[in-house]
Each structure stands twice: as structure tokens, then as C-alpha cells.
Amino acid sequence: MTAQEISPSFPSRLPNVGTTVFTIMSALAAEHRAINLGQGFPDFPCDRKLLTSVNDAMLADRNQYPPMIGITELRNGISQKIKNLYGHYYDPESEITITAGGTQGILTTILACVSPGDEVVIIEPAYDSYRPSIELAGGKTIAVSLEVRRDAHGQVASYEIPWDALAKAINSKTRLLMINSPHNPTGMVWQKADLDRLAQLVKNTSTLILSDEVYEHMVYEGAAHHSVASHPELAARSFLISSFGKTYHVTGWKVGYVAAPPALTKEFRKVHQFNVFTVNTPMQYGLASYLADASHYLNLPAFYQAKRNFFRAGLEKTAFKLLPTPGTYFQCADYSALNIPQAKLNEADFCKWLTTEIGVAAIPVSAFYDRPTESGVIRFCFAKQEQTLATALQRLQSL
């Protein structure tokens, strides 16, 4: 028997998981030399000062294992930032842990909290790592869907939090509720009143909260991001997850953090130490130095709002129906009114056609659901240089 004929003698832990849609669409974009507005990463460089800070750390021989929980300087900086923005103090020693990106923070939180048979409530459309992480922990995913509001023409106009469905989903078996604001892929943003309502929903339960806030600095029109850290009742039962990759345009560095009360952090770190143990040392020092200057993340809303407005203005010259984008660096659009035969395709096939024939890659929103849920909506990423967006718009305006 050759090596190629040998098959695994054990069942797959994730039998229903294949290659992610982001990998598929990015590969298709590369093959056809399409402009990749699918996967969520910038095509512009980070601040050279940040690179200098990392390089300085390397030259200073900051190249060995750092503390398992992250270097003190970075945890102190995160604690100060959260306190300044949201009014809640997290102890750097007992409540903040540096992670290998937001996705690792999500997986580790779930593995730390969820035992076989526990229920975890997610809100779909949802980031694609949520379900597999729950399955690896032996948990049961309970999915509720955002409520889709349509206009008089039947096109998607907005997404809203499904409060009635959430209330029904939470019971004595619910171990964890996962929320995401600003929301990927829809761009929806939770308001203070939403956090208040959530607190009432879980008040007399033992349900913990995982709050995915990696787009926290991308909220527009002068609005504030309402973190679970800003809500004392929720902060007491929540894991707050964020990402330096999204904030500082360095998605490939995979550095993030998790903030949670001491008892929750203690359990988180038990898993973290045997998951990744620790995170890239010189990058931690570089980020700690850069984080001391708040001008970058405080200016980020205006930076991305300008890109959003430029992209929306171009799309408004097409028959795409634009959904509101109060947060994230994604723009959702309903394509069903396009006067082309391909407007009748399902979202996945439309995105493939758009990539191969028009030369612009997007992501079907249906990919963020476990079961096919077609609404005729696709997601573009506008975290790109203006020239990249201009070229993409020129192609899209030909539809």
C-alpha cells in the first residue's frame, strides 16, 4: 500500500468543515488577477514607526520567550486604553492576556468555558471560526439569525438583533453567548440600549458572554463603540476580544488580546498556555511602544469613513442596493436588481462570476450561515488604497 492509499483510521473532528470561503475566493482572485475585495485585509502598509519599533526590539535581543500572559508593557498599555475609552479598569496581571490574534482568543475562550453538551448561542451571519471552535469543545451550537428588513422592492435594507429569538435560545444549558460588534459581515453596530437589553436577558442566568470586538475602532459618523467593558453587569461575565492586526493594518502579525475578570482569565490561561503558550516577542514590544501614542486608533474612524464614503459613492452609480455601514471596513450590497442574467444566481455563484468575468472578488453573505440562507447580499472590503477601490468601481460600474 502506498502512502497515497492510506486513509485516516479515525473519524474527523470537523467532518463538515472544508476550505474557508475566504481562501477559495482569494485563490480565485489571484488566478484571474481580480481585485480582491473579498478577504478582509488592507493592501496599504502600516506606519513605518511601528516597523521601526519592532526592529528595535529585535536588535535589542527581545527574541526569546516572553511571559506566557504577554509582556507587562503591552498589557499595561491595553489596560490604560480600555480604561480611557470605556471607563473600566482591567488589572494587567490578572485580567489581560496577549493572544495570537483574535481567532485564537475565540477558540481558547470556547475551549476554556464549554464542556461536552453545553450550549453556545451564536448570531448568524457569523464569523466562520465560531461553529468549528464550539464543535471542537464538544459544545452544541444554537444559532439565531439577525432579522432581515426589506424595502418596498424586496431588497435587503438592514439587519437587526433578533431579541425574541435570543430570549428563547437562552436556557439552563446555555454556557456561552457570542456577540460581535461592529459586526462582520453586515457592519451592524450594537448600541448602549442593546447592551442594556442583553444584560437584562442574561441577568438571572449563568450564561457567559464572548464579545468579539476586533473592529472596535471602526465606528463612523462620530458614534461611539459600545464595548461590554463599558457595561459593568456585562463586563463581570464577559471575555472581551480585540485585535492589533485590524487596528494597525498588520493582519499577518496575528496579535490580539482577551480581557476578562480574574476567575474567567484564570481558566482562559489554563488553555492558552497549552494552546500557543505565548506570542511573538519583538512584535509585542513594538506594539507596546506604538500603543503609547493614541493618535492612530483615535484617528482610525475618520480614516476608514473616508474610504467607506468613496466606495459607497462609486457603488451608488450602479444598481447595487447598499446596506447601511455604521461600522467595520465592509460594505454589504444587494445585487438582485442588477439588470443582468447573473443577478438570478445564488450568492456563491454570483461572487465566482463577479471574480472571473468582472475582475472583482467579493464574499457571499450566505457563507456566514451554517445552512444556505440566500438573500442576494454580498460583502466587499473597502480597506484598500483609493486607486484599488477606484479600479474596482470602474469594473463594477460596467454592470
Domain ranges of the chain: 3-46+299-396, 64-295
Residues in the chain: 399
Residues 98 and 342: their CA atoms lie apart, in Å, by: 45
Q: What is the pLDDT along the chain (399 residues), one digit of tens a residue?
A: 455 555 667 788 898 888 888 888 999 999 999 999 998 999 999 999 999 999 999 999 999 999 999 999 999 999 999 999 999 999 999 999 999 999 999 999 999 999 999 999 999 999 999 999 999 999 999 999 999 998 888 888 889 999 999 999 999 999 999 999 999 999 999 999 999 999 999 999 999 999 999 999 999 999 999 999 999 999 999 999 999 999 999 999 999 999 999 999 999 999 999 999 999 999 999 999 999 988 899 999 999 999 999 999 999 999 999 999 999 999 999 999 999 999 999 999 999 999 999 999 999 999 999 987 888 999 999 999 999 999 999 999 999
Domain 64-295: which topology? Aspartate Aminotransferase; domain 2 (3.40.640)
Please state, in angstroms and rounded to a whole number, the distance separating the CA atoms of residues 345 and 15.
28
- Residues 120/180, Cβ–Cβ less than 8 Å: no
Which CATH topology does 3-46+299-396 take?
Aspartate Aminotransferase, domain 1 (3.90.1150)
Secondary structure (DSSP) of 184-251: TTT-----HHHHHHHHHHHTTS--EEEEE-TTTT-B-TTPPP--GGG-HHHHTTEEEEEEHHHHHT-G
Q: What nine digits make up the cell of 19?
A: 476550505
